Protein backbone atom coordinates (compact mmCIF):
# COMPACT_ATOMS: atom_id res chain seq x y z
CA UNK A 1 0.00 0.00 0.00
CA UNK A 2 1.37 3.39 -0.98
CA UNK A 3 1.84 6.45 1.12
CA UNK A 4 -1.14 8.80 0.94
CA UNK A 5 0.04 12.25 1.99
CA UNK A 6 -2.36 14.72 3.53
CA UNK A 7 -1.61 18.39 4.07
CA UNK A 8 -2.57 19.80 7.46
CA UNK A 9 -5.70 21.94 7.15
CA UNK A 10 -5.04 25.62 6.58
CA UNK A 11 -1.34 25.20 5.77
CA UNK A 12 -1.52 25.42 2.01
CA UNK A 13 -3.91 26.20 -0.79
CA UNK A 14 -6.66 23.76 -1.59
CA UNK A 15 -5.36 20.73 -3.42
CA UNK A 16 -1.73 21.37 -2.45
CA UNK A 17 0.58 18.92 -0.71
CA UNK A 18 3.88 19.90 0.84
CA UNK A 19 6.51 17.15 1.06
CA UNK A 20 8.93 18.91 3.44
CA UNK A 21 8.41 16.41 6.25
CA UNK A 22 9.04 13.45 3.92
CA UNK A 23 12.17 15.24 2.65
CA UNK A 24 13.42 15.81 6.19
CA UNK A 25 12.84 12.14 7.00
CA UNK A 26 14.88 11.00 3.98
CA UNK A 27 17.70 13.40 4.84
CA UNK A 28 17.64 12.29 8.48
CA UNK A 29 17.93 8.65 7.35
CA UNK A 30 20.76 9.54 4.98
CA UNK A 31 22.71 11.42 7.66
CA UNK A 32 22.18 8.54 10.09
CA UNK A 33 23.68 6.14 7.55
CA UNK A 34 20.41 4.29 7.01
CA UNK A 35 20.31 5.34 3.35
CA UNK A 36 23.34 5.47 1.09
CA UNK A 37 24.20 8.31 -1.26
CA UNK A 38 23.29 6.26 -4.32
CA UNK A 39 19.82 5.72 -2.82
CA UNK A 40 19.11 9.43 -2.34
CA UNK A 41 21.09 10.77 -5.31
CA UNK A 42 19.37 8.74 -7.99
CA UNK A 43 17.84 11.28 -10.37
CA UNK A 44 16.78 9.68 -13.65
CA UNK A 45 18.74 10.91 -16.68
CA UNK A 46 15.64 12.68 -18.04
CA UNK A 47 15.15 14.47 -14.73
CA UNK A 48 18.83 15.48 -14.81
CA UNK A 49 18.43 16.81 -18.34
CA UNK A 50 15.35 18.80 -17.28
CA UNK A 51 17.22 20.14 -14.24
CA UNK A 52 20.01 21.45 -16.45
CA UNK A 53 17.99 22.69 -19.42
CA UNK A 54 14.43 23.34 -18.32
CA UNK A 55 14.18 24.29 -14.66
CA UNK A 56 14.01 27.19 -12.27
CA UNK A 57 17.20 27.75 -10.29
CA UNK A 58 16.83 28.57 -6.61
CA UNK A 59 19.46 29.81 -4.17
CA UNK A 60 19.20 26.90 -1.73
CA UNK A 61 22.28 24.72 -1.41
CA UNK A 62 21.95 21.01 -1.99
CA UNK A 63 21.24 19.25 1.32
CA UNK A 64 23.48 16.31 0.35
CA UNK A 65 26.61 17.65 -1.36
CA UNK A 66 26.31 21.31 -0.25
CA UNK A 67 28.32 22.28 -3.38
CA UNK A 68 25.48 22.30 -5.86
CA UNK A 69 22.52 24.62 -5.95
CA UNK A 70 19.06 23.25 -6.36
CA UNK A 71 16.83 23.59 -9.39
CA UNK A 72 13.09 23.09 -9.42
CA UNK A 73 11.63 20.95 -12.18
CA UNK A 74 7.86 21.01 -12.63
CA UNK A 75 5.77 18.38 -14.35
CA UNK A 76 2.08 18.78 -15.06
CA UNK A 77 -0.18 15.76 -15.46
CA UNK A 78 -3.73 15.73 -16.72
CA UNK A 79 -6.01 15.10 -19.68
CA UNK A 80 -4.46 15.35 -23.16
CA UNK A 81 -0.95 15.61 -21.74
CA UNK A 82 1.68 12.90 -22.22
CA UNK A 83 1.41 10.01 -19.74
CA UNK A 84 4.81 10.99 -18.31
CA UNK A 85 3.62 14.58 -17.82
CA UNK A 86 4.66 17.82 -19.43
CA UNK A 87 7.73 19.58 -18.11
CA UNK A 88 7.01 23.30 -17.63
CA UNK A 89 9.20 26.11 -16.37
CA UNK A 90 7.18 29.29 -16.57
CA UNK A 91 4.03 30.72 -15.06
CA UNK A 92 2.79 31.43 -18.61
CA UNK A 93 2.96 27.74 -19.53
CA UNK A 94 1.14 26.78 -16.35
CA UNK A 95 -1.54 29.42 -17.02
CA UNK A 96 -2.08 28.06 -20.54
CA UNK A 97 -2.64 24.55 -19.16
CA UNK A 98 -4.82 25.88 -16.32
CA UNK A 99 -7.25 27.38 -18.86
CA UNK A 100 -7.87 23.98 -20.45
CA UNK A 101 -10.77 21.76 -19.49
CA UNK A 102 -9.99 19.13 -16.90
CA UNK A 103 -8.09 18.71 -13.66
CA UNK A 104 -4.33 19.15 -13.86
CA UNK A 105 -1.79 18.42 -11.17
CA UNK A 106 1.67 19.98 -11.01
CA UNK A 107 4.51 18.14 -9.27
CA UNK A 108 7.57 20.19 -8.33
CA UNK A 109 10.80 18.26 -7.84
CA UNK A 110 14.04 19.68 -6.46
CA UNK A 111 17.17 18.41 -8.16
CA UNK A 112 20.89 18.93 -7.68
CA UNK A 113 22.73 18.70 -10.99
CA UNK A 114 26.01 18.05 -9.17
CA UNK A 115 25.17 14.99 -7.07
CA UNK A 116 21.78 13.93 -8.52
CA UNK A 117 19.86 14.46 -5.25
CA UNK A 118 16.16 14.77 -6.00
CA UNK A 119 13.01 14.91 -3.98
CA UNK A 120 9.40 15.80 -4.58
CA UNK A 121 8.88 19.21 -3.01
CA UNK A 122 5.19 19.86 -3.52
CA UNK A 123 2.18 18.95 -5.60
CA UNK A 124 -0.83 21.11 -6.33
CA UNK A 125 -3.83 21.19 -8.57
CA UNK A 126 -3.95 23.95 -11.13
Query: Which residues of the chain form contacts with Zn ion (CB under 5 A)?
Result: 62, 64-65, 68, 112, 114-115, 117
119 contact partners, CB below 8 Å, separation of at least 6: 19, 22, 23, 26, 109, 110
| Beta carbon nearer to Zn ion, 68 or 85 | 68
Distances in Å between the alpha carbon of 102 and those of 78, 98, 122, 123?
7, 9, 20, 17
Grouping H, G, I as helix, E, B as strand and the rest as coil, residue 103 is: coil
Measured CA to CA, the distance from residue 77 to residue 125 in angstroms comes to 10
Q: Minimum distance between the CB of residue 15 and Zn ion, rounded to whole angstroms?
A: 30
> Which one, 23 or 86, has the nearer CB to Zn ion?
23
Closest approach of Cβ 57 to Zn ion, in Å? 13
Considering only CA atoms, which of 26, 41, 15 is closest in space to residue 107? 15
CB of residue 94 vs Zn ion: minimum separation in angstroms? 26
**CB of 90 vs Zn ion, minimal distance in Å:** 25
Measured from the CB atom, the residue of 116 and 122 that comes closer to Zn ion is 116
d(C-alpha 105, C-alpha 75), whole Å: 8
Nearer to Zn ion, 76 or 119 (CB): 119
Amino acid sequence: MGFIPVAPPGTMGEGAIDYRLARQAVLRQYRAGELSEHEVCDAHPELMRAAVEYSTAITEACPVCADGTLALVSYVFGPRLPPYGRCVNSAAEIDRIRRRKGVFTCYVVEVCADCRWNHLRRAYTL
